[in-house]
Structure 1
Amino acid sequence: MVKPSGGSVDRLLKSPPPDLRVFVIFGPDSGLVRERAQALSRSIAGDPDDPFNVTRFTDEDIKADAAALADAMAAMSLMGGERLVRVRLSGDSAPVARWISEFEAGEMPAEGRLVVEAGNLTKASKLRKAAEDGKKSAAIACYEDNARDLIAIAEESFKTAGLALAADARHTLAGILEGDRELARSEIEKLILYKGFDGGEITLEDIAAISTESADAALDKVIDAALCGEIQEADLQYRRALESGTSPVAIVRALQRKIDQIERYHQLGGDQGALARSGAPRFGPPAQRFQAAARAWSRARIARAREIAFETERAIKRSGSPAEALAGETLLRLARAASPARAR
């Protein structure tokens, strides 16, 4: 049974023990789940996107082919180096849990290593239980950072960039960073880019400046229109984003992040407090747009939206079809699906 916590998690991510073959990373902080999965994958395979040594699966892949995971884990590397299988799930998965149990019992071979990203698994989850009970598996929980943790991450990043955080700006920045780890890192990176790498102090004025004019504003217009069911507006904003040089892949990934945020908002109760804890906008028109999208995409429907977004990114990478067409069709598909839901 391996359930690392605190500093032992960072050590495991940097140097995973050779006897551990399976890693289930789960919890309510989806940004931290992704960050840790990426760091661990990089430690195992070097390049977490290596098409020869890394195989990826989603919920739908596993459901469509029950033997796919076992086949991928049994395959040997043809190019040398460590084989890695990455599975991204929206929640519990009986097939993946079953494979882990059979592997632990010596009934399944594992030539490579398995990294599973999951949602907020309960103690009764089959997947979590299989990882926690195994001797060759690790269950890594990802819970929300508190304000002190996030400010520490920010100040470490600023120090690396030759910057410092003004004392009177710490409280304001803590409020902005509150919520998902991935969203917090995005805000930190914006501040560093805004200040540059020439040294200096990050002030309240700097924080206000990046909050007022976000680099993600154009992406937000596209994604919000699609998820709110505004078909013509989504098409218009998508064309404008492409004309400004935004890549279709960046738009699809922004769509995935917003979908994750909406799901997390629902998981946290779907109330005013959930806005802050999910990292969603809390005031004014941005908050109203987010809540409108959340009403159109209930907790039951948002999982399907995620599958569509993942399918689109996979199709962009694998097919010869233009990325612009694939991403555009996905946005309009979601906008059409949200339109009648919004009307209700």
Structure 2
Amino acid sequence: MKVSARDADARVRTPDPAIKAYLIYGPDRGLAHERAGTLVKSILPDPDDPFALTLLTEEDLKSDPAALADAMVAMSLTGGQRLVRVRLSGETGGGPVADVISEIESGSLAPQTVLVVESGDLTPRGKLRKAFEPAKKALSIACYADDARSLGNLAEDLLKDEGLSIASDARMLWLPRLEGDRALARGEIDKLILYKGLRGQRAEGDDTVTLEDVEAIAADQGEAQMDAVIEPALLGRLAEADKAYVRSVSAGGSPVAILRALQRRLDQIGVVQGSGGDDAALARSGAPRFGPQADAFKRQVSLWRGRRLDHARQLAFQAERDVKRSGSPAEALVSELLIRLARGAAQASR
């Protein structure tokens, strides 16, 4: 069954026990990831219990197509509800998922385990949507970019939780900057809340987000915006990188500044590899060593090595030469470079 956009959040917050499989997909990967996480927490009393939750990737399904079916019939060692969460980038790995949905619908598989599949954008003719949408025991939830109204509601709810409100002029300036990806938007909202201070940390009466607060936060976002472009490009997430690039340039960001930041990142990757690739090498390069940023950087290091890294550096150098030529369109040249690198990373990760 397909779920309407209006009902999607309610469905993941209060799941129907009769539904045994969920497909949460769409171009807004941040929103898909957030809804999948909410659903897991709604179903499992302890989402961190390794005996209750099995995580599978498309690489797992490619190397062992039977892994999903085996996980679906496995019993929890501690008893209680089990859940299998599968993360895909698209249709790759969708065959085993479609087979499991067919078995659930026919009654040949009656698992106590719930299946949650998280994916990027999918076409209506693809095997995943064709398996989920007609099914009576499965739900398909599409995740598209938030509009100004839904972003406004999200921001106001999160601000309200910390006893904050936002002035109308600040709201008008700030909300358009959040459009694009739910994860990025939530990160910007959290950043603003931390800037103002959590409930009980602020001075008395300082409970309204002002235009000055929004502008102060915006002044510190240049590096974060560039990283939002560079990271997905070097990890092969083409659509995400392109969206972030357009968003950055539309907000006044410099294509040349993005190019220079990309060159610094490639040099940083080279330093890490040339120094042995261990934690000491990460420290010497100035790369992040902990948290999601460190994990993303390590994936970049694993993808860009040897001749591939050398070629990327050459492309970046050539792009800078072309940009410096009279009349060369910097925005288009940098965009083309990011596309080439994202495609290269996507091929390398297969």
- Give the deviation of 1:286 after TM superposition: 7.0
Report the counterpart of residue 215 of structure 2 in structure 1: 208
What's the CA shift string for 1:164-220, capped at 9, x where partnerless? 111111121112101101110100011111001235211121112112224x95896
For residue 59 of structure 2, give the secondary structure of its aligned residue in structure 1: helix
Q: What CA distance in whole angstroms lies between the structure 2 residues aligned with 1:137 and 1:126?
A: 14
For residue 136 of structure 2, give the secondary structure of its aligned residue in structure 1: coil
Residue 280 of structure 1 contacts residue 287 of structure 1 at CA under 8 Å; is this kept in 2? no
For 2:217, the aligned partner's letter is I
Q: What CA distance in whole angstroms lies between the structure 2 residues aligned with 1:117 and 1:136?
A: 17
Q: What CA distance in whole angstroms lies between the structure 2 residues aligned with 1:120 and 1:256?
A: 16
For 2:312, the aligned partner's letter is A
Instruction: Flag the 1:120–1:22 CA change in 2: closer, same or farther, 3 A.
Output: same
Instruction: Flag the 1:207–1:260 CA change in 2: closer, same or farther, 3 A.
Output: farther
Report the counterpart of residue 83 of structure 1 in structure 2: 82
Q: What CA distance in whole angstroms lies between the structure 1 residues aligned with 2:234 and 2:309?
A: 14
Instruction: Flag the 1:211–1:335 CA change in 2: closer, same or farther, 3 A.
Output: farther
Q: What CA distance in whole angstroms lies between the structure 2 residues aligned with 1:259 and 1:184?
A: 21
Q: What CA distance in whole angstroms lies between the structure 2 residues aligned with 1:148 and 1:287?
A: 33
Instruction: Flag the 1:201–1:219 CA change in 2: closer, same or farther, 3 A.
Output: closer
Q: What CA distance in whole angstroms lies between the structure 2 residues aligned with 1:291 and 1:31?
A: 27
- Give the deviation of 1:110 after TM superposition: 1.8
- Give the deviation of 1:283 after TM superposition: 3.1
Report the counterpart of residue 253 of structure 2 in structure 1: 284
1:343 corresponds, among 288, 309, 314, to: 314
Report the counterpart of residue 14 of structure 1 in structure 2: 13
Residue 23 of structure 1 contacts residue 115 of structure 1 at CA under 8 Å; is this kept in 2? yes
Report the counterpart of residue 283 of structure 2 in structure 1: none
Instruction: Flag the 1:56–1:134 CA change in 2: closer, same or farther, 3 A.
Output: same
For 2:302, the aligned partner's letter is R
Q: Identify which range, 2-11 or 159-168, moves more after superposition.
A: 2-11
Instruction: Flag the 1:176–1:286 CA change in 2: closer, same or farther, 3 A.
Output: farther
Q: What CA distance in whole angstroms lies between the structure 1 residues aligned with 2:256 and 2:151?
A: 22
Instruction: Flag the 1:340–1:282 CA change in 2: closer, same or farther, 3 A.
Output: farther
Instruction: Flag the 1:153–1:74 CA change in 2: closer, same or farther, 3 A.
Output: same
For 1:264, the aligned partner's letter is E
How many residue pairs are counted as aligned between the two chains? 278
Unpaired segments ≥5 residues, structure 2: 267-288, 316-350
Correspondence list, 1:45-124, <5 A:
45-92=44-91, 93-124=94-125
Instruction: Flag the 1:185–1:19 CA change in 2: closer, same or farther, 3 A.
Output: same
For 1:41, the aligned partner's letter is V
For residue 86 of structure 1, give the secondary structure of its aligned residue in structure 2: strand
Q: What CA distance in whole angstroms lies between the structure 2 residues aligned with 1:220 and 1:98?
A: 41
What's the CA shift string for 1:257-297, capped at 9, x where partnerless? 9848643244x6xxxx9722xx7884334785279869x99
For 1:283, the aligned partner's letter is G
- Give the deviation of 1:11 after TM superposition: 2.2
Q: Identify which range, 66-75 or 202-211, moves more after superposition.
A: 202-211
For 2:314, the aligned partner's letter is A
Q: What CA distance in whole angstroms lies between the structure 1 residues aligned with 2:117 and 2:54?
A: 12
- Give the deviation of 1:36 after TM superposition: 0.2
Report the counterpart of residue 240 of structure 2 in structure 1: 264
Instruction: Flag the 1:89–1:155 CA change in 2: closer, same or farther, 3 A.
Output: same
Q: What CA distance in whole angstroms lies between the structure 2 residues aligned with 1:125 and 1:290?
A: 36
- Among the aligned pairs, what percent are the same residue? 44
Instruction: Flag the 1:259–1:171 CA change in 2: closer, same or farther, 3 A.
Output: farther
Task: Name the TM-score, length of structure 1 as normaliser.
Answer: 0.71
For residue 152 of structure 2, give the secondary structure of its aligned residue in structure 1: helix
Larger Rg: 2
| Alignment pair present for 1:152 and 2:159 | no
| Alignment pair present for 1:332 and 2:301 | yes
Q: Identify which range, 155-164 or 52-61, moves more after superposition.
A: 155-164
Unpaired segments ≥5 residues, structure 1: 228-254, 298-322
